[in-house]
Amino acid sequence: MTCPSCGNSNIYRSHSRHLLEKTLRAVLPVHYYRCHDCDWRGMKTDLKWRKLSKYLISVLYVLLVAGLVIALIGTLLFFLVFRPG
């Protein structure tokens, strides 16, 4: 893994500093890194593109299933409340 600022490979994982960074790190497949050569600090993903695309597809799948379940429950509630006849 190389530093996006200077291109050297002298980068190491850095601790999350505050709640926003901890939240992002928990939700996204990323870690914070620091470059010991140029002092750059930022997020990078450990995942290769193939793994990242699988992760994104699984997130989209979960959102799709959740949307379908919510739509189904909404339809059932609609017919329970407004019974025809």
CA distances from 16 to 24, 34, 35, 51 (A): 9, 11, 15, 23
CB of 44 to Zn ion, least distance (A): 12
CB of 30 to Zn ion, least distance (A): 18
Kindly tell me which of 4 and 29 has the beta carbon lying closer to Zn ion. 4
CA distance 34 to 11: 5
> Which residues are at the interface with Zn ion (CB under 5 A)?
3, 5-6, 35, 37-38, 40
| First-residue to last-residue Cα distance in the chain | 66
Kindly tell me which of 4 and 67 has the beta carbon lying closer to Zn ion. 4
